[in-house]
Amino acid sequence: MTEQDFDRFLASLQGMLKTNRRRRDAIVGELRDHLLERLDELVAQGVSRDEAMTRALEEFGDAAVLAAHFTAISRNRNRRILMRTTVGTVAALAAVLVGVVAFWPQDASVPLAPRKVTAQDEPKEVKPPAAEGVALLDEDALDDATVEKLKKPIDVDLIETPLSDALSFTVGAAEVQFYLDQRALDDIGLTADAPVSLSLRSISGEMALDLILKQLDLTYVLRSGIVMVTTPEEAEYQMTVRVYKLKDLRTEMEIAKQSDTQHAVEALATLAEESQPRGFGGGFGPARPVEDDTLRVPLLESMLQLLERRDALEATNPEAAKKVEKEFYQLARTVLPPPAARSPYQEVVELIMTSINPDSWDEVGGPGSIGVFRDKLVVTNSREVHRKIDDLLRQLRESGEAPAATATDE
Amino acid sequence: MTQRGNDLIRGSLDLMVLSVLADGPKYGYLIQQRLNDASGGAVRAPAGSLYPLLHRLESEKLLRSRVENSTGRQRKWYELTAAGRRRLSKQAQQWNELAACLETLLRPVLEAPPDPA
């Protein structure tokens, strides 16, 4: 019995875990810690090292059973997120459609624009296509208007006032509609009569709202400009999907091209070495990666050739170099496993996940998800997070030397 | 019947894990030790059940975790979320009531085993 047996056990577990790589590594790292800790303890008790290793492994049980347990959880998690985004709101679905339409490349002549044709439709009623992204922008515009209204200063004087009245006095006074999520309140044993107190002069409606809700461990989300008061847990379910265009960020990525190339080559090398079958994580991989190694290896070689050719062309003919690079990425999509680790926009994804509500992403057990689809970012999360992403992307655009010419209003 | 038995154990293991975490963050191995110690060895939560359970509770947002790398190993610390705390106190109360009810019902049974005649 050697320490390699631990590794063998963990490797076989790793191979059987049907989830994305990062989660898989996290699980294996955690279990390794457990095994080593158990080993230390048994050895400290005077058990021989060999015996201790055998016992530690035996206590763990069968790798396949363990993997099945974890996989079931991961599947449930995915199902739950799917449910939230599908059953959750028809509006979310509409937003995706509109979002996709809005960000569809212009040359694709908007194939997804739904044409409403009903029996009563008269030819003369055919209107010019609505401005792209109308529904989506409306939602946001309504929310923005509400945010503006809530900035107005108000005086608040509440003493043991029932929650619903308190909201009327503050939010209602700012001419903003609100809705109490009665069911969520029930869940935590609260009613609309729960008393709140607050006495402050000229504070913003938003601040008043925050301070009132904080007293009851509640929070709010904006939906169509309406303040929905609910529990933090429930708020997390209020998720919407949006698509962000990243293309104009790309020019900035070019700066890091050198290291990109290195990353790609490293990735290619590791990939070529690995013979283990790989699972496909979530994400928005446009094509299923080629699994057969006899097929994959020559493809990898041609990818490397493309890279070399691009580097050779770079100085003399940048236009052609760009073309070759495009080919490389196209090929990469079929050969390499889904985008996460390899997308040129991965940095943006990481930036968003670490700087914007880090707890809200599914990598850390939160409800939100993020993925890159070609040059678009597909994000499922709360409206609050979407707003922050908007801000962040705008700042990135403004701070970079990226020519604004390619930037379209999202 | 078996199903019900399993549910009972599964449900109570959830609760046990939540209660072990009530006094602060712990990692998997510590949780296992604490369960073992608290029950005088009666509750054995093998790693094969414990870790999937922890991950499930985390995905249900009852726990949150953070990974510590300082020891050269990946140690994952779990702690209760607000929702986890609420679940714990709610379930603790339910169990308390259930136990009281069972106690009343079972006392005569324990004191005088039913006579088949």
pLDDT score recorded for residue B13 = 84
Cα separations (Å) of A360 from A217, A316, B61? Answer: 18, 46, 11
Nearest partner of B48 among B100, B13, B83, B89, judged by Cα:
B13
Contacts across the A-B interface (CB distance below 8 Å): 82
| Residues with pLDDT less than 70, chain A | 1-3, 73-139, 236-238, 247-297, 333-344, 374, 400-410
pLDDT score recorded for residue A309 = 83
pLDDT score recorded for residue B84 = 92
**CA–CA dist A163, A165 (Å, integer):** 5
pLDDT score recorded for residue A28 = 87
Strands (E), A231-374: 240-245, 369-373
Cα separations (Å) of A82 from A88, A377, A380, A385? Answer: 9, 17, 10, 18
pLDDT score recorded for residue A270 = 55
**Maximum CA extent, chain B:** 68
What is the value of pTM for the model shown? 0.38
**pLDDT of B62 higher than 50:** yes
d(CA A385, nearest CA chain B) in Å? 18
DSSP A368: B
**CA–CA dist B101, B117 (Å, integer):** 27
Contacts of A60 in chain B (CB under 8 A): 46-48
Evaluate whether A143 touches A222 at the Cβ level (below 8 Å).
yes
> Which of B58, B61, B91 best tests the A interface by mutation, with the highest count of A CBs <10 A?
B61
Flag whether residue B49 sits within 8 Å of chain A, measured between CB atoms: yes
pLDDT score recorded for residue A344 = 64
Phi, psi of A158 (to 5 degrees): -120, 130
Nearest partner of A410 among A36, A137, A226, judged by Cα:
A137
Strands (E), A67-194: 153-162, 178-180
Tens-digit pLDDT profile for residues B7-46: 455 567 888 999 999 999 999 999 999 988 887 777 778 8
Nearest partner of A391 among A204, A95, A147, judged by Cα:
A147
pLDDT score recorded for residue B54 = 92
CB environment A69-97: b (16+ within 10 A), e (fewer): bbbebbeebeeebeebbeebbeebeebbb
pLDDT score recorded for residue A368 = 81
pLDDT score recorded for residue A341 = 45
Q: Which two tokens stand for residue A280?
A: 């496909």
User: Side by side, which strands form the sheet with B63-68?
Assistant: B26-27, B75-80, B63-68
